[in-house]
Amino acid sequence: MELIERYLYQVGKHLPVKNREDILAEIRSHLEDTLEERTNGKPGEEDVVELLKEMGSPRKIAASYNPQNQYLIGPALYPLFRMVAGIALAASIGAQLLAGGISLWVGSSIDAGEFVAGLLTSVPTALGSVVIVFMILQAAGVQPKMDEAWDPRTLPAVENKEEVKRGELIFGISAGIVLLALLIVMPERIGIYNMPGAAFYANPVILQYLPWIYASLALGIGFDIYMLWQGRWNIANRALELGTDVFSIVVLTMLYKGHVAWLEAHGASGVIFNLLDLPKNLINNPQVFGMQSFCMAFGVALIVLVAVSISKLVKMILRALSGGEVISPR
């Protein structure tokens, strides 16, 4: 029965993972047996609605399986705690990544050890502060109101598991392998071709950062293969995807800044240049034209990837806040 499934799904969101399946099985059995007894095996929607109203809201029934005095943070406060903890975690990691990105952008070097130490310090500090606040609320007996009137018909539908798009993953793996193979086999042939004179200018910036490019492509291919094996999205692999995007952002930043530095060293503007000068450079200085084109391409790619990554982070936080990334009660 759909209403029972929706009810159990919502109850499961407020139960600890360890005992969730056993508790939900017990509740399901009680509901089915009660309906069988009351309706002689022919329950209607109104019968289900009436029984669920007697049981109480999902949060209330979940709380009855978790005595408050056994928890530092009880099940009544846990949904709010999870929301606040998620915001604190995202803000802490985001602040560290933003600081690192700004340092790279302005040309400062980043000590990897200090960066990791900053993450290891800021994340536990942020989460620890949230835990302490909620421990105090729990000890003071502050609890959300759970006995408000509710209608079982308003229960949201059980969300479908988010299956991966295999076609996109296979295309991404194939394209990544082809590009990685080309860079490994003939990196010196990546550059600017001057068709009229059949001249070729290798791109020194790409050659300089080849190991980083290899690592970024390999990481992306590995993640796509992993997701093809996993078959569905969850909060863990979304975070992993965000991590690969952050690494790609770092590599694109280095490539963009490398092209800017090369152009400035050769008497051309690397950050802002007149697009009307591009046709002129194509004829008079094809190497500068090519490096400006690469610079624009990496700059656009960097902006797009940053925007996409921010969008993914926001969606991941919203899913966590809405409880969308939880195990189905079935």
Query: pLDDT tens digits, residue range 235-264?
Result: 888 889 999 999 999 999 999 889 888 888
Same domain membership, residue 181 and residue 257: yes
Let me know if residue 88 belongs to a domain: yes
Same domain membership, residue 267 and residue 199: yes
For residues 289 and 48, the model is more confident at 48
For residues 46 and 143, the model is more confident at 46
Let me know if residue 155 belongs to a domain: no
Most distant CA pair in the chain: distance in Å? 90
pLDDT band at 56 (very low <50, low <70, confident <90, very high): confident
Query: What pLDDT score does 245 carry?
Result: 92
Length of the chain counted residue by residue: 330
Lowest mean pLDDT among 13-27, 107-121, 238-252: 107-121
Same domain membership, residue 317 and residue 171: yes
Mean pLDDT of 282-297: 75
Name 47's bridge partners: none
Domain boundary among 53, 70, 87: 70
Residue 28 structural domain: 2-70
Provide the number of structural domains found in the chain: 3
For residues 94 and 274, the model is more confident at 94
Distances (CA, A) of 207 to 113, 139, 142, 213, 316: 26, 60, 61, 9, 36
Decide if 126 contacts 92 (C-beta within 8 A). Answer: yes
Query: What pLDDT score does 325 carry?
Result: 45
Same domain membership, residue 211 and residue 278: yes
Q: How far apart are CA 206 and CA 284, in angstroms?
A: 23
Same domain membership, residue 285 and residue 171: yes
Lowest mean pLDDT among 25-39, 44-58, 76-90: 76-90
Mutual angle of helices 45-55 and 2-12, in 10-degree steps: 20
Same domain membership, residue 45 and residue 99: no
Same domain membership, residue 315 and residue 181: yes
Domain boundary among 127, 142, 157: 142
Establish how many alpha carbons lie within 13 A of residue 166's alpha carbon, considering only the half-sphere containing its beta carbon: 4
Lookup result for tokens 């929706």: 6
* pLDDT exceeds cutoff 70 at 195: no
Mean pLDDT of 131-151: 69
* pLDDT exceeds cutoff 50 at 329: no
DSSP state of 232: B
* Selection from 67, 52, 73, 212 nearest residue 130 by Cα: 73
Query: What pLDDT score does 142 carry?
Result: 65
Q: How far apart are CA 32 and CA 26, in angstroms?
A: 10
Establish how many alpha carbons lie within 13 A of residue 102's alpha carbon, considering only the half-sphere containing its beta carbon: 6
Q: How far apart are CA 271 and CA 279, in angstroms?
A: 18
Same domain membership, residue 173 and residue 318: yes
Same domain membership, residue 89 and residue 16: no
Q: Quick one: what percent of the chain has pLDDT higher than 70? A: 73
* Residue ranges in 266-330 assigned as alpha helix (H): 277-284, 286-322
Query: What pLDDT score does 328 carry?
Result: 37
Let me know if residue 170 belongs to a domain: yes
Same domain membership, residue 54 and residue 106: no
Same domain membership, residue 104 and residue 224: no
Domain boundary among 38, 70, 102: 70
Q: What is the mean pLDDT of the chain?
A: 76
Same domain membership, residue 93 and residue 20: no
